[in-house]
């Protein structure tokens, strides 16, 4: 096992070197191939095919102070090959979600809110009012996996294109954008404020937290959600892959990566009442804003810091 881990670490290092040389080319290619399929549709970025190492590097979870019960869920690291696909440049906004609700009559109602010591359902909250100030250019929150999947299906019907949620592997490949560090900007959680909206000094002044709660020791300017695209993009030209809101993926929940798919497809077996969410949100500690971090959650649950972004099949010849 130690040898395998060492080999994977070496592979990750080699991959970082290879990809760092082509980051500029990849970013240029991505920006040259972004498009939108309709007025009001999400702007989509063409993500090139590639191979990457998925999962947390040995020692990362301990270094980040991840709670014991949550460790080993992003292991073992494993190489994954990904075909070309499209990924939304931004999280789906409240305005985009509103258009979907107005067109389809999609119901909503109730959202899990942080009360200071626990998450509790508040029947009066929903995506229109997640319990904190938002505008239509902020990411939609209080949407379940079922809501997110219905949005993608509506977009597919509307445009004739194959919209869907990203697989978990596609999500992490997009979030890393060729990097092998803990976060796409590096390992330093306290450098987050230029790149991601997480729990920071701004959040600390607005949201009640337990004394042991940690936060980025910088100010990102937003106590709650920020307008999408407020922070620097990653090497693929994608914004907010970490922070702002958690993002649903297609995959059924599995408690670790033993026997995980290695072709970039979604994991269709496991506990499919739970699906994987990624990226962390505006109220998450730095340990939650990591490329490798993953959580499973019931498909029907709406949470005040959780939204999504869409992906699309690449049907270009």
* 283 part of the interface to Ca ion, by CB under 5 A: no
Entry field: residues in the chain: 317
Q: Binding Ca ion by CB under 5 A: which of 182, 197, 285, 297?
A: 197
Q: Binding Ca ion by CB under 5 A: which of 74, 96, 144, 203?
A: 203
* 138 part of the interface to Ca ion, by CB under 5 A: no
Mark the segment that binds Ca ion (CB under 5 A) among 13-21, 89-97, 201-209, 228-236. Answer: 201-209
Supply the minimum distance, in Å, between the C-beta of residue 220 and Ca ion.
4
Supply the minimum distance, in Å, between the C-beta of residue 96 and Ca ion.
22
Give the rounded distance of the alpha carbon of 119 from its chain centre.
Answer: 20
What DSSP string runs through 208-253? ---TT----SS--S-SS---TT-S---TTS---SSBSSEEEEEEEE
* 250 part of the interface to Ca ion, by CB under 5 A: no
* 244 part of the interface to Ca ion, by CB under 5 A: no
What distances in angstroms separate CA 68 from CA 50, 61, 71, 212, one per listed residue? Answer: 33, 9, 5, 15
Separation between Cα atoms, residue 26 and residue 235, nearest integer Å: 7
Q: Binding Ca ion by CB under 5 A: which of 147, 220, 247, 251?
A: 220
Q: Binding Ca ion by CB under 5 A: which of 172, 200, 251, 284?
A: 200
Question: Helices 145-159 and 94-104, interaxial angle, to 10°?
Answer: 70
* 75 part of the interface to Ca ion, by CB under 5 A: no
* 60 part of the interface to Ca ion, by CB under 5 A: no
Supply the minimum distance, in Å, between the C-beta of residue 74 and Ca ion.
24
CB 139 within 8 A of CB 245: yes
Mark the segment that binds Ca ion (CB under 5 A) among 70-78, 104-112, 193-201, 252-260. Answer: 193-201
- Give the x/- contact pattern for Ca ion in 222-241, rule: CB under 5 A: x-------------------
Nearer to Ca ion, 162 or 217 (CB): 217
Separation between Cα atoms, residue 255 and residue 299, nearest integer Å: 16
Separation between Cα atoms, residue 308 and residue 298, nearest integer Å: 15
Separation between Cα atoms, residue 296 and residue 177, nearest integer Å: 23
Burial class (CB in 10 A: 0-12, 13-18, 19+), 55: buried
Supply the minimum distance, in Å, between the C-beta of residue 205 and Ca ion.
10
* 284 part of the interface to Ca ion, by CB under 5 A: no
- Residues near 122 by beta carbon (within 8 Å), at least 6 away in sequence: 110, 111, 112, 113, 131
Supply the minimum distance, in Å, between the C-beta of residue 198 and Ca ion.
6
Total site size for Ca ion, rule CB under 5 A: 6
Which stretches of the chain bind Ca ion, using CB under 5 A?
197, 200, 202-203, 220, 222
């Amino acid at each position: 096992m130690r040898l395998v881990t060492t080999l994977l670490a070496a592979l990750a290092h080699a991959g970082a070197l290879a990809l760092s040389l082509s980051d500029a080319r990849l970013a240029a290619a991505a920006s040259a191939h972004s498009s939108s399929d309709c007025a009001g549709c999400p702007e989509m970025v063409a993500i090139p095919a590639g191979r990457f190492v998925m999962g947390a590097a040995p020692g990362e979870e301990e270094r980040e102070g991840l709670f014991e019960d949550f460790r080993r869920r992003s292991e073992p690291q494993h190489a994954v090959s990904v075909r070309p696909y499209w990924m939304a440049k931004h999280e789906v906004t409240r305005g985009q979600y509103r258009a979907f609700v107005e067109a389809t009559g999609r119901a909503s109602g109730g959202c899990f809110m942080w009360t200071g010591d626990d998450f509790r359902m508040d029947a009066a909250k929903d995506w229109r009012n997640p319990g904190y100030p938002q505008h239509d250019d902020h990411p939609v929150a209080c949407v379940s996996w079922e809501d997110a999947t219905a949005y993608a299906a509506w977009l597919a019907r509307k445009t004739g294109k194959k919209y869907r949620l990203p697989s978990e592997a596609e999500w992490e490949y997009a979030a890393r954008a060729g990097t092998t560090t803990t976060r796409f900007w590096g390992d330093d959680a306290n450098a987050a404020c230029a790149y991601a909206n997480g729990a920071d000094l701004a959040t600390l002044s607005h949201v009640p937290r337990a004394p042991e709660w940690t936060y980025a020791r910088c100010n990102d300017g937003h106590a709650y959600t920020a307008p999408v695209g407020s922070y620097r993009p990653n090497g693929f030209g994608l914004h907010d892959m970490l922070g702002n809101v958690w993002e649903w993926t297609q995959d059924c929940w599995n408690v670790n990566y033993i026997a995980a798919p290695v072709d970039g497809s979604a994991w269709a077996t496991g506990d499919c009442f739970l699906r994987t969410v990624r990226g962390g949100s505006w109220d998450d500690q730095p340990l939650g804003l990591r490329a490798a971090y993953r959580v499973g959650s019931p498909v029907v649950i709406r949470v005040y810091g959780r939204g999504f972004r869409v992906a699309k099949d690449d049907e270009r010849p």
